[in-house]
Structure 1
Amino acid sequence: MVVPENSAVIFRLRGVLDFTCQLDISNETQGRGAICRCFEELRSKVTSESLVLVVSSSSVLLWPNKGLQTTVEGLTQDTPCRDIQQYIEVEDGGSKKSSKKKDKKNSGPTMVNLKFLMEVTEAGGTSAPSLFVTTRQQHCVRMPLYVDCVLSANGHDTLQIVCSGLVGALCRQLGDMEEAVLRHRKGSSLLVPQVFHFQLPSSHLVTAVYPAGVAERELLPEREELHRKYGLPSNRPCFRRSNAFHFPDEPYRDGYLRNPHTHLTPPTLEDSNLYVVRGVYSYHHYMQDRVDDDGWGCAYRSLQTICSWFQQQGYTERAVPTHTQIQQALVDVGDKDSSFVGSRQWIGSIEVQAVLNQLLGVTSKILFVSQGSELASKGRELANHFETTGTPVMIGGGVLAHTILGVAWSETSGQIRFLILDPHYTGGEDLQTITDKGWCGWKGPEFWDQNAYYNLCLPQTPKTF
């Protein structure tokens, strides 16, 4: 499935199905057969005429298996799917929804959220209930199946094509859930399957189903199979849970801003190329997490930004370390004595290197610059780092630390601009203020103290998936 361009629409269909199964715990084969029959019944339900698709924030209901009946006059099976947007109410300022129809013109991929329901009554006569009695020892298993399907469509595709595609995606996902349940079944204990979407380097969205509660190391065979299926290298993670795609219409629950640099206009340097951080990171800066580190914690915050990158790229399951945990790590490696924990002492690039190795098992290269005026000549080294490795870079010099997220560099002229994420910001998570005021922005060589020495910590990525 390809992530659509500006003229297309992403349809996301979610809902809950009730899985109920009577397992014969004395017979493994019959138990497996019972699970398969239950999933087959669920597939029959979603392909029946009782399936209803509800377009969120609208009055539109669709019956995809009834020749595409709808509740809106004018919507037919031949209607272009992009036309569904005009029936979706949009937020108008506060929490109230506006009755204005959504503007069809959109600068990027449009998200259309749907949920599905099942009609519980049918026209016609009713049959008498049946009663079954069994004398074998059985175990009743009941669990919710949280279905989450994504379909990318061209805006010109008809509603019939989209609805048929969504029904097909539902059936396929139930098949994936069945496989995950059977693979990780232990007797009468069944694990709830969970759905994750992943964006591949080729801009495809791929859906995988993993059982809840199973550690990442135990899912290695599934990930290996996915890497082979999509021809991906085995030197970096693509299908760990933390790699899951974040949909643009969903907020991050932790409150941190992600990738503020993507909202900047790149500099215009003649004959230059852009080399920027790969993947997702969180912006960590002064005064967050109820910690008053104004004046001493800039390197800690830059380190936290780097750790967030490794976490969100799936290299580690460890949470971003606190200031205390960073200090304790330096004590543990023998770099500091025990009185360092709880202090307000600065750290630099060498300490950042040590903490990354101690807490995440990440090695780093150190680039030494005797004075800031030399940084303008380090374009090749930085361009190569972002092109081949892609991690954020911590730079410390004098009493200041910053995070370098990329460079715009001309190999012919040597001109360079640095993409800087500044941890000295003390305000709230206001993206416009952060970008307008230059807390995340492109800086020229004059940004650095021309006479101060600098150490750059370039974290390396482990070879793992």
Structure 2
Amino acid sequence: MVVVDTNPSLSGTLLRVRGRLKLSCLLDSTDVLLAHKAISEAFDTVRSQVKSESCVLTVCDSPVIIWPNKSVKATPEEITPDTLCEDLHPWIQTDEQESFSRKSGKKKSKKSSAVSIIDLHLMMEVTKPGPLPAPILSRTVQSNHFLSTTLPVDCVVLTNCSDTVKDSCERLMEALTHQLCEMEKVTLQHMKGTRLLVPEPLHFLLPEPKGLVTVIYPAGVPDSQLESQRMELHQQLELPDDRPYFRRANAYHFPNEPYRDGYLRNPHLVLTHPTLDDGKVYLVQGIYSYYHYMQDRMDDNGWGCAYRSLQTICSWFQQQGYVERSVPTHKEIQQALVDIGDKQVSFVESRQWIGSIEVQAVLNQLLGVTSKIMFVSQGSELASKGRELASHFLNEGTPIMIGGGVLAHTILGVAWSKTTGQIRYLILDPHFTGAEDLQVITDKGWCGWKGPEFWDQTAYYNLCLPQKPKII
């Protein structure tokens, strides 16, 4: 079920090939062994197609076509087997300006990110050179079952600056063949009668040095029914069993693919960390979405900051695979508080504030997540909470909601020196009312590092520190 590749956090180019391959077979009998044999033979046929000279790889958004099993033949003729993979980038057209640069012989400047992506599409030639023989028709009457499905192959390999097109194609074809073998195992394992479940490849980025891992799951089978497979993967890869790595929500998001929901993810990653004497930085672990005023056609300006901070926290638990439910709306948050008896029915669809205690209650009610509450009698005391906050981000890694007076914020990390006591807080501000413009949000400090003076020195604060469930 697993293919382990080199860690994509290193510099290089990720080659990702995707395509759809037809799998079909006739079953003369419903006998399980005979059915499995027929399906295995059908997979053999598909693997033979991938290894044949008819197999074609096209570089997306470019004129580059590669026949990996024809001595790595390619067009245009400038592309040879010895061409470096990274030299395919100038051929990729993303807009008219880049198209002009390529035609004029000017290479694009390389991206500053550590890893770049080249997408390829897997295809099969269906025509042969030369005259075609006349078709011969025959008719046979018999009773059998016809099984057909489409295999969504999705393979990734990492190349370095010295890898050629020939080297990379050989690795890709090997990975494709291996993935089809894993798909066969999953298909046979989850076959019910004459019904086939489509095998679904998903990529997961594990902590260093394990890197990128591809897992094949049966499509349509919920995560709740795949716990034994995930447990096996954790044991195989020596991963702790107290947090999820292989739920579908944990699937790796490739840098060149936009998020479809429109929310910004992890805006803090573009910030420069503050420098403190003998200080260390402790940050939120994983991915969250930035929720703030006026999103989702909801005018909550002036009263919804704690709701938005709660939504950011809920998005973290969702995107780390701890929960499957969607991020709750303001109305769902209010209804949850009514359901537990904390608020009156009139609270639903009102414009009333909530605080850290309500955030704790909603997390428990809707997500089954427990939280610790830290009470601070006045803002000046927050400067002495560096050790507790650092411990939270080191061990739990969840966003923290902090409320004081009529304001709420999200704390994403701290920079703290245990020798000098200096501290800075990484704040995500839910009071932002603008568009999802990363530069504006970071330049204007809506996501940024703040000093102890950021807090009202005389106001009391409650902090809600969500705890990670111990699940896989």
Does the TM-score normalized on the shorter chain lie above 0.5? yes
Aligned-partner residue type, residue 105 of structure 1 = K
Query: Secondary structure, in 3 states, of the residue corresponding to 1:306?
Result: helix
Q: CA deviation at 1:267?
A: 1.1
Question: How much has 1:139 moved relative to structure 2?
Answer: 1.6
The 2-side partners of 1:277 and 1:81 are apart by 35
| CA shift for structure 1 position 134 | 5.9
Q: Which amino acid aligns with 1:73?
A: E
Q: Does 1:84 align with 2:88?
A: yes
Contact 2:8/2:212, CA 8 A, preserved across alignment = no
State the Cα distance separating 1:227 from its structure 2 match.
1.0
**Residues of 2 paired with 1:103 and 1:263: CA distance?**
23
Shift of 1:156: 0.6
User: Within 1, Cα distance between the matches of 2:138 and 2:6?
Assistant: 48
- In structure 2, the CA distance between the partners of 1:5 and 1:321, relative to structure 1 (3 Å rule), is closer
Matches within 5 A, 1:275-314: 275-314=282-321
- Note the C-alpha offset of 1:135: 5.5
Which residue identity does 1:337 align to in structure 2? Q
Q: CA deviation at 1:313?
A: 0.1
Amino acid at match of 2:80: T
CA contact (8 A) 2:30 2:194 kept: no
The 8 Å contact of residues 153 and 162 in structure 1, kept in 2 or not, is answered as: yes
Deviates more, 1:132-141 or 1:386-395: 132-141
Contact 1:25 1:187 in 2 (8 A): no
Deviations 1:133-177 (A, max 9, x none): 666532212222111111111121121110011111111111121
Deviation at 1:122, TM superposition (A): 2.3
CA offset digits 1:275-328 (Å, max 9, x no partner): 000000000001111111111110000000000000000000000000111011
Matched residue SS, 2:226: helix
Is contact 1:402-1:423 (8 Å) kept? yes
Q: How many residues align?
A: 463
Counterpart position of 2:173: 167
CA distances 1:105-133 after superposition (whole Å, capped 9, x unpaired):
33221111111111112235656757676
Aligned to 2:160: 154
Larger mean Cα displacement after TM superposition, 79-88 or 211-220? 79-88
Q: Which residue of 2 aligns with 1:211?
A: 218
- 2:101 and 2:108 in contact (8 A); partners too: no
Higher mean alpha-carbon deviation, 15-24 vs 2-11, is at: 2-11
Which sections of structure 2, spanning at least 5 residues, go unmatched? none
What is the DSSP-based 3-state SS (H/G/I as helix, E as strand, rest coil) of the residue aligned with 2:155?
strand
CA distance in 1, matches of 2:317, 2:8: 27
1:196 is matched by which residue type in structure 2? L
Tell me if the contact between 1:43 and 1:174 (Cα under 8 Å) persists in the aligned partners: yes
* Structure 1 position 114 matched with structure 2 position 139: no
The answer to whether residue 390 in structure 2 is matched with residue 383 in structure 1 is: yes
Give the equivalent residue in structure 1 for 2:50: 46
TM-score, structure 1 as length reference = 0.96
Q: How does 1:246-395 map to 2 (within 5 A)?
A: 246-395=253-402
What is the aligned-residue identity percentage?
A: 61
User: Does residue 26 of structure 1 match 2:33?
Assistant: no
Question: Are the equivalent residues in 2 in contact too, given 1:4–1:153 (CA < 8 A)?
Answer: no
Distance 1:353 1:66 in 2: 61
AA aligned opposite 1:121: T
Of stretches 266-275 and 435-444 in structure 1, the one that deviates more from structure 2 is 266-275
Q: Which position in structure 1 is the counterpart of 2:108?
A: 103
Determine the C-alpha separation between the residues in 2 that align with 1:274 and 1:438: 18
Aligned with 2:195 (options 174, 186, 189): 189
TM-superposition CA deviations, 1:222-263 (whole Å, max 9, x none): 211211121111100000000000000001010100000001
| CA distance in 1 between partners of 2:371 and 2:441 (Å) | 28
Displacement of 1:413 in angstroms is 0.4
Aligned alpha-carbon RMSD (Å): 1.7
Distance 1:393 1:24 in 2: 60
In structure 2, relative to structure 1, the CA distance for the partners of 1:385 and 1:213 (3 Å cut) is same
Number of the residue aligned with 1:14: 18
Deviations 1:29-55 (A, max 9, x none): 111111111111000000001111111
| Corresponding residue SS for 2:401 | strand
| Contact 2:411–2:425 (CA under 8 A) maintained in structure 1 | yes
Moved more, 109-118 or 76-85: 76-85
Distance 2:350 2:110 in 1: 54
Which consecutive unaligned segments of at least 5 residues does structure 1 have? none
Checking the alignment, whether the CA contact within 8 Å between 1:366 and 1:458 is kept in structure 2 is yes
Range with greater deviation from structure 2 (411-420 or 124-133): 124-133
How many angstroms apart in 1 are the aligned matches of 2:438 and 2:296? Answer: 18
Alignment CA distance shift 1:134-1:384 (3 Å): farther
Secondary structure of the residue that 1:326 maps to in structure 2? helix
Question: Scaled by the length of structure 2, what TM-score is found?
Answer: 0.95
Aligned equivalent of 2:77: 73
Q: Distance in 2 between matches of 1:132 and 1:27?
A: 27
Letter in 1 for 2:20: V
- Superposition deviation, residue 24 in structure 1: 3.3
CA contact (8 A) 1:406 1:418 kept: yes
Matches of 2:278 and 2:153, distance apart in 1: 49
Corresponding position: 1:230 with 2:237: yes
Q: Is the 8 A contact 1:83 1:104 kept in 2?
A: no
